[in-house]
Amino acid sequence: MSTGTSVPTLPSDLQDLRATALEVLRGNDLGDVTRPSPTLYPHQWLWDSCFIAIGLRHVDPARAAAEVLSLLRGQWPNGMIPHVIFAEVDDFYHAGPQRWRCDRYVVTASGAQSTGITQPPMIAEAAVRVGEMLDPKARIDFYRALLPGLIRFHEFLHTERDPDDEGLVTLVHSWESGMDNTPPWMEATLPITPRRVKVLRRLGTAEALDALRRDAKEVPAEERLTSADLFTLYRVVRELRRSCYSFRNIRETEVPLVQDVAFNAILVRANDHLVEIAAEAGVKLPKRLTRSMRRCREAMEQLWSQSTYFSRDFRTGELLRHETVGGFLPLYAGVVPEERIDGLVKAMTSPRYWPRYGVASVPADDPAFLPRCYWQGPVWVNINWLLADGLERYGRLEAARELRANVLNLISSSGQMFEYYSPLDGTGAGSNSFSWTAALLLDLLARPDLPEIQAVAARAADRLGTTGVPGARRATDEDRPAAADAG
Ligand code: 9WN
């Protein structure tokens, strides 16, 4: 990674924040891949690398392109790009290669070890963002190197994971959603709880399992999923392994099968980007794939009910009616009819999702809500990036700025790159020195409308009685030309 020269237009205090972000990325740099964090996540994760590339492009576009391309190292013969490609480090990760034993079934493109599941398909988004920073020749070379693998990945999703041609892609583990213990997934996973966990739960002694987990050595257990949930997710891995990771076998087991709303929304957007990438590289996409893309976009409508979007159970066809931030991601996909947009914006900025900071991963009035616990309440920077991007494309610039300003306030109040933040008091939780928080902060700081975002951040900080973003008051509405804001 290059040194990342200073950005001349940035106030000096934001330069400091930027320097911290760069330091985090440099510290997590493993060559041409970046680990999510130094201790808890020592390998390469699919969607993490994509968000990381989106930030790195402002510092070193060639390195960002390498980060995206490196994901192809893990590609399976069936086209799947795995959720984790294991680095050759001493394995202290709690769900390392020995839990998956995938090398018994497949050899990845590079021979690297991997998990047997995938993660949200952010690759095309990352590729387009990185492509914007490359000169035209380098961009076309990059796209051409990426395309064969990327096309096969999208084909895998639309065929292997949509065997009944319903339009929507089905996930086989909550880790594939990226939102590991999000309530609808944990409910869907409940029936497969291992017997010993059920017994301990019944006896009220499930914390006896705490001593057996590795992840809680890095991060306080109460900021992660419960041990009962974690051991249930390990059980799902065992079933997947026994099914040789083949959907045809998996569907015959008790493994939860979910048409995840957020994953499918990300796929719809990725498909649009794939079309763009292919056109620029002069590559024709297979007809069957373009048909699947269209059907996936149309099928998103089936996930809408009354006031939000939900995930759906693949087997029963029933919506999993437990509201989470995932229900807003169709905004990112661009599939929401105009008449629903303002309602969704109102909901995501209401005290339920924005008690003090937003957008929370679970509404604050939900019985499952825990402000500092993983995907059960905290604000995640990557999800807010996706939402702001969607809002901007719908012309809701003011709302997009509110989200970005809020993220800036959250990060700058501690000056550290946490994995997630409490929507109640803004404190950081989970892993520290977390790469995608750092990378997406770099992306935010490089935005041309940063002064306007800073002004919104300053107003929010005044309202909340907090210190707010350093340097924000240099960019008030008075000393800047009015923004062309349609929001
Ligand atoms: C399991 C790496 C990953 C993220 C996920 C996040 C968390 C892993 C874990 O960390 O999941 O994949 O071990 O907890 O939930 O979104 O990609 O940062």
Cα distances from 204 to residues 207, 208, 270, 373, in angstroms, run: 8, 10, 44, 20
Condensed to tens digits (0 to 9), the pLDDT of residues 77-124 reads 999 999 999 998 766 788 999 999 999 999 999 999 999 999 999 999
How many angstroms does the Cα of residue 178 sit away from the middle of ligand 1? 6
Position 237 scores a pLDDT of: 98
Q: Does the annotation mark 166 as catalytic?
A: no
Active-site residue, from 180, 223, 260, 402: 180
Condensed to tens digits (0 to 9), the pLDDT of residues 123-135 reads 999 999 999 999 9
Among the listed residues 287, 279, 401, the one whose alpha carbon sits nearest the alpha carbon of residue 349: 401
d(CA 258, CA 187): 11
Share in percent of the chain as helix, strand, coil (round to 5): 50, 5, 45
| pLDDT confidence bin for 7, thresholds 50/70/90 | low
pLDDT surpasses 90 at 363? yes
Condensed to tens digits (0 to 9), the pLDDT of residues 212-243 reads 888 877 888 899 999 999 999 999 999 999 99
| pLDDT confidence bin for 47, thresholds 50/70/90 | very high
Q: Does the Cβ of 45 fall within 6 Å of ligand 1?
A: yes
Cα distances from 86 to residues 1, 116, 120, 409, 487, in angstroms, run: 21, 12, 18, 34, 43
Q: Does the Cβ of 82 fall within 6 Å of ligand 1?
A: no
**Which residue lies with its CA nearest to atom 4 of ligand 1?**
178
Position 320 scores a pLDDT of: 98
- And the tokens for 185? 């997934």
Q: Does the Cβ of 218 fall within 6 Å of ligand 1?
A: no
Q: Helix axis angle, 227-242 relative to 195-202, nearest 10°? A: 160
Cis peptide before 379 (omega within 30 of 0): no
pTM recorded for the entire structure:
0.94
Active-site residue, from 419, 443, 449, 452: 419
**Which residue lies with its CA nearest to atom 5 of ligand 1?**
178
**Which residue lies with its CA nearest to atom 14 of ligand 1?**
180
State mean pLDDT over 373-381.
Answer: 98
Position 91 scores a pLDDT of: 65
Q: Does the annotation mark 478 as catalytic?
A: no
Condensed to tens digits (0 to 9), the pLDDT of residues 137-159 reads 999 999 999 999 999 999 999 99
Position 75 scores a pLDDT of: 98
d(CA 178, CA 118): 9
Question: Any idea of the CA torsion for 464, 20, 217, 122, to the nearest 10 degrees?
Answer: 90
Query: Helix (H, G, I), strand (E, B), or coil: what is residue 312?
Result: strand
How many angstroms does the Cα of residue 193 sit away from the middle of ligand 1? 20
Q: What atom of ligand 1 comes closest to residue 48's alpha carbon?
A: 17
pLDDT surpasses 70 at 34? yes
Position 480 scores a pLDDT of: 37
How many angstroms does the Cα of residue 484 sit away from the middle of ligand 1? 38
280 contacts 132 by C-beta, under 8 angstroms: no
